[in-house]
Amino acid sequence: MNSSALLNPAHLNVLTREALPALGAHVLSTTWCEPRVGIVHLGIGNFHRAHQALYTEEAMLAAGGDWGICGVTLQGDVSKRDALMAQQGLYSVVERGPDGEKVTVARALLEVLAMPHDHAALFARLADPLVRIVSLTVTEKGYCRDPKSGEVALDDPLVAHDLANPSTPRSVPGILVAALRKRRHNPFTVLSCDNLAHNGAALRQVVCSFARQLDPSLADWIESAVAFPSTMVDRIVPATTDSERESTARVLAYHDAAPVPCEPFRQWVIEDRFPAGRPAWEAVGAQLVDDVTPFELAKLRMLNGTHSTLAYLSMLAGFETIDAAVGQPELRHLIHAMMTDEIAPTLSVPASFDLRAYRDALLARYANPALKHRCAQIAMDGSQKIPPRLLGTIAARIDAGEPFARLALAVAAWMTFLRGHADSGTHFEIKDPLAARLQELAASARGNPEALLDALLPVREIFPASLADQPLFRSALREALQALGNGARSAIVAYAAC
């Protein structure tokens, strides 16, 4: 078969389990005993498929167990379900680093369901006692969480629907409560894998507060009987593109509609509380610990905080990918200084955790030229990401009486980003749960820094009053907004030198 034919899916066989004997060089092991489903995963996106699903397959190869995965998409779009089920759950994980690429065909995903279309099938699966873990990667907005109280957001349309129709839920808390109601004698463990501070505790609070609206006794039982371990997950996983599909076809000689690109690095730190059992993740590199908090906070602030900083400054300055952004010397220096001088001093980590080595590893990962991680992808959902990634660090710096100019520049860059165009005039779409409201507020300021602060700081879903009313915070933001008014590249140079 010639290379041009490989680019045309019509000339290729679809990647299915019948193809596995021909793909021995691209599976983790040629010995594979098909498991039964033991995990239901809500939010079957690229990150889960490149991270937890691969860890789980490796754990089954190392120590056995029925930990096959049923993945669930919650967006109402059946295209992902149909593409993956046409491949019998198979897909390829494409690790790209400076030393080349490695393509692995993953097999742990056995079933994909799409809500609300597959409601009956999902709840039949959740009622199955073989399912002992329900895991999640639904992003911060998927929790339907009131950012001020941590309780379920009663004004969320999905939550309102589920409280009125508890037997046909659509939200994450609604689905979990409906499933746990039927599992009172043998509850599953609920495992959050999202970038949310204290993600297990946060999810537990949302679920219990939702349950309390329906049945206080059920809420009390969930609070006391159901485990919600916290986790810290790390791997850079860009979105899949058509070129990714074409290059994967060249390697496999099979058409994969859903390959997942990622970096070679990965990390998973898990609070070890699984009353119903779990895969042997520790046998394949995951860290099982008593307390995730130090690892979680380091990742949220060092990696996620600087990732967002790079994304918003880049959207204004015209850098399309993270490697291009960090390849700009002044921007790299700014991020290095931010991690060293402003973020690392806010962290308390075990003696074995070398923050300077972690910083250097992050910068090397950002510079990976093979990933092409788009800044626009990282810039999505800023209203959900800014508080845990940046505002907590700023509050810690203020409490310590220490400067935070670069962190303030990051928040100011997000505020400026809401205008919807780069310094060059190139327009981009704002993808955020609060997009319409935030863009209207930003537009009302007409480019005036003081007016922009007056418009955005009262948004309590993002800025707590204790921080928004802090004169030092407002002053630092005003100065950063004024610097950005002269162009993001000029501001980067100025703040790299400060």
**Residue-range domain boundaries for the chain:** 3-289, 293-497
DSSP H or E stretch at residue 336: helix 329-337
| Type of residue numbered 456 | L
Q: Are 193 and 231 in contact (CB under 8 A)?
A: yes
Each residue of 4-24: pLDDT tens digit? Answer: 444 555 578 999 999 999 999
Looking at every residue in the chain, the average pLDDT score rounds to 95
Pair of tokens at residue 54: 């691969």
Pair of tokens at residue 125: 């699966």
pLDDT for 95 beyond 90: yes
Q: Are 320 and 314 in contact (CB under 8 A)?
A: yes
pLDDT for 211 beyond 80: yes
- Please compute the mean of the pLDDT values over residues 196-212 and round it to a whole number: 96
Q: What are phi and psi of 451, to 5 degrees?
A: -65, -35
- 255 beta partners: 14
CATH of domain 3-289: 3.40.50.720
Pair of tokens at residue 300: 């949220």
pLDDT of residue 2: 40
In the numeric block, the tokens 């589920």 are attached to: 162
Neighbours of 473 (CB within 10 A): 24
pLDDT of residue 8: 56
- Find the length of the chain: 498
Each residue of 455-469: pLDDT tens digit? Answer: 999 999 999 999 999
* Closest listed residue to residue 448, CA positions, set 423, 406, 419: 419
Pair of tokens at residue 86: 């046409």
Which of the 8 DSSP states describes residue 420?
S
- CA 365 to CA 346: how far, in whole Å? 22
pLDDT for 248 beyond 80: yes
pLDDT for 197 beyond 90: no
Q: At what angle do helices 471-484 and 488-497 cross, to 10 degrees?
A: 130
- CA 133 to CA 71: how far, in whole Å? 12
User: In sequence order, which residues have a C-beta less than 8 Å from that of residue 111 and are 6 or more positions away?
Assistant: 37, 68, 69, 70, 71, 85, 89, 125
List, edge to edge, every strand of the sheet that includes 231-234.
231-234, 267-271, 287-289
Three-state secondary-structure class, residue 231: strand
Name the pLDDT band for 77 (thresholds 50, 70, 90).
Answer: confident
pLDDT of residue 5: 42
pLDDT for 169 beyond 50: yes
- CA 448 to CA 444: how far, in whole Å? 9
Pick 293-497's CATH classification: 1.10.10.10, 3.30.300.180, 1.10.8.60, 1.10.1040.10: 1.10.1040.10
- Please compute the mean of the pLDDT values over residues 249-255 and round it to a whole number: 96
Q: Are 255 and 13 in contact (CB under 8 A)?
A: yes
List, edge to edge, every strand of the sheet that includes 100-106.
100-106, 91-97, 260-262
Pair of tokens at residue 484: 């950005």
Each residue of 368-410: pLDDT tens digit? Answer: 999 889 999 999 999 999 999 999 999 999 999 999 999 999 9
User: Is the preceding peptide bond at 98 cis, omega within 30 degrees of 0?
Assistant: no
Name the pLDDT band for 147 (thresholds 50, 70, 90).
Answer: confident
